[in-house]
Amino acid sequence: MSISRRHMLLLLPAAAVAWKYVLAGTPDAAPNYKMPEHWWGMLIDLPNCIGCGNCVRACQAENDVPDEYFRTWVERYHVSDYDIENPHVDSPEGGKKGFPAAKAEGGKNFFVPKLCNHCADSPCTQVCPVGATFISPDGVVLVDKTYCLGCRYCVQACPYGCRFINPKTATAEKCTLCYHRITKGLTTACCEACPTGARQLADLKNPNDPIHEFLKTHDVQVLKPYMATHAKVFYNDLDGSVR
């Protein structure tokens, strides 16, 4: 088969357009993953969190999170004996590099990892004017960045401060619960990097998931329950001062 010069001129631009997709590779298929069979959340076992920042670093590496923005971060609470309603909180660089030594002031210190709560009634999804933010059938709040206007209403609506505008894409961004991993049977990057097992991915529709036993036997709470967002990040042994 011979290709004429005219055909070559037509084919070259098409090949150039196609090449970047060749370079990008084909997305991994997840043929066995059935969305309606899952309902994802996360368990944070607070007494096990040592504030090492591994989760923050792993998330940033896995998801190419820009500097100074956070899909997950760790806060350190210091609650004094005299003023339990007004804790002192710090989170230098989101806890990415761990924390400096705490001052010995009495009271108690503990760490609280934060991430998107993947609320079943998420205010961010409610306010998105075009539906670029949505809840997947398996309970993960996601953003379609090819559709997002960058109006920032969702950032305002999130009670937990979990969203930001990615300066590179000018669209809303947040934790996806490593959706690209969990649909292939992997756990999230943060859970995988946690050295103490303080973060556990939970599938609430899987009857064999240890989350069910854990929820039955522990004092588990969600953040800001009065917001009625039906958050799905469950905190074990959550102190009342955490907000």
Partner 1 sequence: MPGVEGFMYPNEVELQWSVLIVLYPFLTGLVAGAFILASLERVFQVEAVKPTYRLALLTALAFLLVAPLPLQLHLGHPERSYEMYLTPHRTSAMAMFGFVYLWYLMGVLLLEIWLDYRRDIVVLSQSTTGWRRLLYRLMTLGSNNISQHALEIDDRLGWLITLIGIPSAFLLHGYVGFIFGSVKANPWWSSPLMPVVFIFSAMVSGIATVMLLYMLLTWARKETIDMRCVDTVARYLFYTFIIDFSLEMLDLIHRIYEADESFRSLDFMVHTKLYMSHIVIQIILGTVTPIALLALTQVLRLGEMARKRIYALAGCLTLVGIFAMRWNIVIGGQLFSKSFLGYTTYKMGLATREGLLVAIALTILPLLILWVLTKLLPPWPEKDSGLSPDAAPAH
Say how many residues touch partner 1, by CB under 8 A.
Answer: 45
Q: Which is nearer to partner 1, 168 or 216 (CB)?
A: 168
Site string for partner 1, 67-106 (x = CB under 8 A): -xxx--x-x----------xxxxxx-xx------------
| Range 40-69, binding partner 1 (CB under 8 A) | 68-69
Q: Which of 114, 118, 181, 232 binds partner 1 (CB under 8 A)?
A: 114
Is residue 221 at the binding interface for partner 1, with CB under 8 A as the rule? no
Is residue 35 at the binding interface for partner 1, with CB under 8 A as the rule? no
Q: Which of 129, 137, 197, 225 binds partner 1 (CB under 8 A)?
A: 129
Query: How many angstroms separate the Cα of 242 from the Cα of each of 44, 45, 53?
Result: 13, 14, 19
The interface region with partner 1, picked from 22-30, 124-132, 178-186, 208-216 by CB under 8 A, is 124-132
Q: Which is nearer to partner 1, 99 or 211 (CB)?
A: 99
Q: Which is nearer to partner 1, 139 or 183 (CB)?
A: 139
Q: Which of 38, 57, 118, 163 binds partner 1 (CB under 8 A)?
A: 163
H, E, C per residue of the chain: CCCCHHHHHHHHHHHHHHHHHHHHCCCCCCCCCCHHHCCEEEEEEHHHCCCCCHHHHHHHHHHCCCCCCCCEEEEEEEECCCCCCCCEEECHHHHCCCCCCCCCCCCEEEEEEEECCCCCCCHHHHHCCCCCEEECCCCCEEECCCCCCCCCHHHHHCCCCCCEEECCCCEEECCCCCHHHHCCCCCCHHHHHCCCCCEEEEECCCCCCCHHHHHHHCCEECCCHHHCCCCCEEEECCCCCCC
Q: Which of 102, 127, 220, 238 binds partner 1 (CB under 8 A)?
A: 127
Q: Which residues bind partner 1 (CB under 8 A)?
A: 68-70, 73, 75, 86-91, 93-94, 114, 123, 125-131, 147-153, 155-165, 169-171, 227, 243
